[in-house]
Amino acid sequence: MMDTSGMALRGVKVVELAGLAPAPFCGLILSDFGAKVTRVDKARTAMSMDMMGRGKRSVALNLKQQEGVGVLRRMCQNSDVLIEPFRAGVMERLGLGPDILMKDNPGLIYARMTGFGQSGPFSQMAGHDINYISLSGMLSRLGRKHENPMPPSNLLGDFAGGGLTCALGIVMALFERTMSGKGQVIDANMVEGASYVGSFIWHSRFLYNHGRGENLLDTGAHFYETYKTKDGEYMAVGALEPQFYAKLLEGLGLTIEDLPPQMDRESWPSMKEKFATIFSSKTRAEWCELFDGTDACVTPILSMQEAPNHPHNKSRDSYLTNEDGGVQPRPAPLLSRTPGVGGVGPQPKIGQHTKEVMVETGFSEEEIQKLAESGAVDLGGIKSAL
C-alpha cells in the first residue's frame, strides 16, 4: 500500500461497499488523497466490476449471513466514513441502516450514493446515468440541433453529479465533525447532483433561450464548435471574446471587415460552413503549428492515447503510469503541500485483505477461522494460521 503520511486525508478510514461507477469513484478520490479505503466485496465472487480500485483494500463478506453483517458493523465502529451504493431501504433491511451504525459510532459519516435519492416516487426504481440526468433537466440541453438529446457518456450523472459530489459532501461532513464531534447522513444522488453541476445553465437561461444546439455554448455558434481537418482529425474552437475571435479569424486567413458581426445569429450556420471548409484544408498538425501559443482559443482534439504525450500534459506530469504500464490521470486538483498521488499498484483481488482488516478490527485468529468456515467471510485464498 502507498505511503499516505503526507497527504490531505491521512488518518481517515473509509468503508466502501462495492458498487458501480459513482461509489467507486468517490472512494477513489478519497483514497487518492490519503484516506485508507477498504472496499467490501461479495464473498465467493470471481471478479470485481470496479475498475477504480487503485489504492484500496478488499474485504469479502457475505452480508446475507448475520455473521457477515456483524463483521461489517464492527468495521464501521472503527471507521470515519461509510459509502453505500444501494437503493433506499436496502441497508435498513440488512440491519445496517444509519440508525444502527451511527448509534454504534456517533461520529460516522454515512454517505448514501443513489440515482434518485432516499425518498420520492422514483427512489425504488432502477436506473442509470442517462435516466438520472434526464430527470435533472440537463439532458434536454445536450445535443445537436434537430437531433435527439445526447448524453455525454456517463460523465455527468455517475461521476460529476454522483461520485465527485458525494466526495465533496464527505469532506464537508468530516470538516464539520471537527467542530461538532458528530457524524451525519449524506443523501448524495445523481439527479440532484447533475442538476447542481448545471447551476450555471439554471442561472444563465438567457444564454440557452433557443432550441438545443442553437445557443452560444452548445455548438450553435461557429466560434464554439469542433471542426474536421484534412487528415480526418479534429480541432476545438472556443473563441468567445472579440479579441480572441479576431485572433481566430487571423489564423484562418479571414478579414473581420468582410464578415458579418460575430454575434449575428442569422449568419452562424453559413459561417460554420465557411469555417468547416477552411479547417478541412489543413491537417491537425498544421493547424496546431499555426495556433499553438496564440490566444485564438483553438486546440487539437486528442485521443486518450495521445493526451498523456502532449507536450503541455507531459510538462506537468498530468498522467501516471501503473506497474502494468497502463496510464491514468494524476489526482486533481494539485495541492501544493499535500498532493494526491494516486495508487499506481494493481487492482486489489477480491478478499485479498480480509484477514488483515479483520485483525486490525480486533478479530482473533480463532474468530476469523470460524467466520471463514461458516462462509461469512472470504479470505481470498489465504489460509488462517490456526
Burial of 287 (0-12, 13-18, 19+ CB in 10 A): buried
Predicted confidence at residue 324, as pLDDT, reads 73
**Contact of 250 with 298, CB cutoff 8 Å:** no
**Owner of C-alpha cell 460554420:** 272
**Contact of 118 with 187, CB cutoff 8 Å:** yes
Please report which helix (H) or strand (E) contains residue 112, including its range.
Answer: strand 109-114
Count of Cβ atoms closer than 10 Å to residue 96 Cβ: 21
Torsion (CA) 111, 113, 114, 119 in degrees, nearest 10: 20
Average pLDDT over residues 184-209: 95
Predicted confidence at residue 321, as pLDDT, reads 86
Q: What is the pLDDT of residues 254-310, one digit of tens each?
A: 999 999 999 999 999 999 999 999 999 999 999 999 999 999 999 999 999 999 999
**Contact of 81 with 12, CB cutoff 8 Å:** yes
**Which grid cell sits at 78?**
472503527
Rounded Cα distance between 14 and 109, Å, is: 9
Domain spans of the chain?
13-200+323-378, 224-316
Catalytically active residues are 128, 158
**For the whole model, what pTM was predicted?**
0.93
> CATH classification of 13-200+323-378 is 3.55.40.20, yes or no?
no
Average pLDDT over residues 232-251: 98
Its CATH architecture, for the domain 224-316, is 2-Layer Sandwich (3.30)
Q: What is the pLDDT of residues 294-351, one digit of tens each?
A: 999 999 999 999 999 999 999 999 999 877 778 899 999 999 999 998 765 678 999 9
Considering the chain, what percentage of its residues have pLDDT values greater than 70?
Answer: 97
DSSP string across 218-285: TT-STTEEEEE-TTS-EEEEE--SHHHHHHHHHHHT--GGGS--TT-GGGHHHHHHHHHHHHTTS-HH
Considering the chain, what percentage of its residues have pLDDT values greater than 90?
Answer: 88
